[in-house]
Structure 1
């Protein structure tokens, strides 16, 4: 089975981590390329990128100090569930990002359980992976449309908090 390749440069500020099932086909040619996925809009609106990128621009992320990867899991009827945390930890250790941003509470919970932590809420998780502190974002999927996100009325405010942590966006500028 093939997975989308990691897109990470030499010195990333933030590596965004989703979840990929090794036993499922790749559905899109680019990270966060599904219809209705707000990843690229949230990335720009939060101030993490000065330009509005599209899924086909995922290869440009390293120019902004950003990257994307996936926590790989195997889920199939004839295969016990297996989460490849060690492989992710090895990559994160090699990349040494300032932050590892989990792009949903679901993927953060999968990682947390594998590391022996309780599933975190949104925001700073309070633990790290391979030296990179973990920040949990509300999922950008079009299916994730709620009235509140851990007490906030929108997803963007969480993304803006992450942007401020790395010195980007309006909150970082004191606006």
Structure 2
């Protein structure tokens, strides 16, 4: 998978992935039970429900996708190692109004590597990514189904509202 980025986006949405798994995936957020596309639409970030195969349409709505890419296997008990310079270069190139992490795990992975405070909840963060405001969303995957979908939609809607304030 390649990043879906272009200059001047409203928001870059960032997840995490291992480098050795990135090329195995055909589409962004296409796994069984993943609500990413529903959350984008129901929150008002996209005017229609897109399919994972339509991810290239996202920049039309001011949205880009990238990942913090894990570059090597983790030593047990140690945090994973991500390619922070490549991530920051991608964000700087896209020059978005904000960066939204697609889970607390993604935001925490960035925070640990960048020396920032770990997120405690969802919403705007006290720190920036390459000078852009940062935001944390609840994860869209089926692994997060313990959080009801209406609550996740509300928290993703908070991102849409946040972007309107920038």
Do both proteins adopt the same fold according to a TM-score greater than 0.5, normalized to the shorter chain? yes
Q: Secondary structure at the match of 2:3?
A: coil
Q: Which residue in 1 is equivalent to 2:127?
A: 127
Q: TM-score, normalised by structure 1?
A: 0.84
Partners of 1:105 and 1:158 in 2: how far apart? 13
**What per-residue deviation string (whole Å, max 9, x for no partner) do you get for residues 103-127 of structure 1?**
0110110000011122102111110
**1:34 pairs with 2:26:** no
Q: How many residues matched? A: 161
Q: CA deviation at 1:77?
A: 6.4
Structure 2's unaligned 5+ residue stretches are: none
**1:44 pairs with 2:41:** yes
Structure 1's unaligned 5+ residue stretches are: 169-175
Q: CA deviation at 1:167?
A: 2.8
Q: TM-score, normalised by structure 2?
A: 0.89
Q: CA deviation at 1:27?
A: 4.3
Q: Secondary structure at the match of 2:99?
A: strand
**1:160 pairs with 2:157:** yes
Partners of 2:5 and 2:116 in 1: how far apart? 26
Counterparts in 2 of 1:106 and 1:10: CA distance versus 1, 3 Å = same
Q: Which residue in 2 is equivalent to 1:171?
A: none
**1:90 pairs with 2:116:** no
Q: Which residue in 1 is equivalent to 2:140?
A: 140
* Greater relative contact order (Cα < 8 A, sep 6+): 2
Counterpart mapping for 1:15-26 below 5 A: 15-24=12-21, 26=23
**What per-residue deviation string (whole Å, max 9, x for no partner) do you get for residues 94-151 of structure 1?**
21111101001101100000111221021111101111111000000011012479xx
Alignment root-mean-square deviation, CA? 2.1
Question: Moved runs in structure 1, 4+ residues, more than 4 A?
Answer: none
Structure showing the higher helix proportion among its residues = 2
